Amino acid sequence: MNTIVRIAPEAIESLSMARIEAEVGERKVFAGDEWLVARRVVHACADFDILPALWFHPRAVAEGVAALRAGGTIVTDTHMARVGIPQRRLRPFGAQVVCLLGEERVRQRAQTQGMTQTAAAMEIALEEGLAEVVVIGNAPTALLRLVECLEAGAPVPRLVVAMPVGFVNAAESKELFLGRCPEVPSVVLRGRKGGSPLAASVINALAELALGQSG
């Protein structure tokens, strides 16, 4: 039986990171800042098995950090992903995180065009120039619509975090994105696994890097 550890609340995160470092062993397939982001993703799901499926564009970390430091807007596919990125992490840069899901104009477009609300929200965010950083942790339809809009000439985000989860088009949408948008800086969790907490954790790690607090 495992022994319960009595520890001060403010020390829980650092102990978690130390245990990840101790247990990862040969599964530590990244180095430098990429590892600090990957470690945060592992922390979000307690699953080392995701590491082989995690993919970084060579400019992903640098572009993400630069976008945050410049006060860029982060668009998420769901409110779960939005609340997973605390405003306190973004406040030092003047950055903000928004999700258009549930707005009346989104509902109307989804109904009129026969698409999901997450797809309609992504389309509107791109049209309005909000999507400097895109975080997708739930909806493959949002990622698919992102690809379509980029191919149609929409402004290219500085970073895309593509981690939709599920059994229908989750893995397929990620591969489509990687195949059709290889030039877009991105962090992708290939396969079926993903989720809003994992996608949000990437931005939280980048915010720490932007502040020089990771280590």
What is the DSSP pairing of strand 73-76 with strand 54-56? Answer: unpaired
| Residue 57 annotated as catalytic | no
DSSP 121-174: HHHHHHHTT--SEEEESS-HHHHHHHHHHHHTTPPPPSEEEE---SSSSHHHHH
DSSP letter for 192, please.
Answer: S
Contact assessment for residue 90 and residue 68, using Cβ atoms and an 8 Å cutoff = yes
The structure tokens listed for 215 are 């280590």
Nearest to 37 by CA among 16, 65, 13, 9: 65
| CA-to-CA separations, 134 to 23, 74, 203, in angstroms, rounded | 31, 6, 10
Q: Which residues of 163-172 are buried (b: 16+ CB within 10 A; e: fewer)?
A: bbbeeeebbe
Instruction: Indicate which residue of 39, 40, 43, 190 is catalytic.
Output: 43
DSSP letter for 95, please.
Answer: -
CA–CA separation, 81 and 85 (whole Å)? 7
Catalytic machinery residues: 43
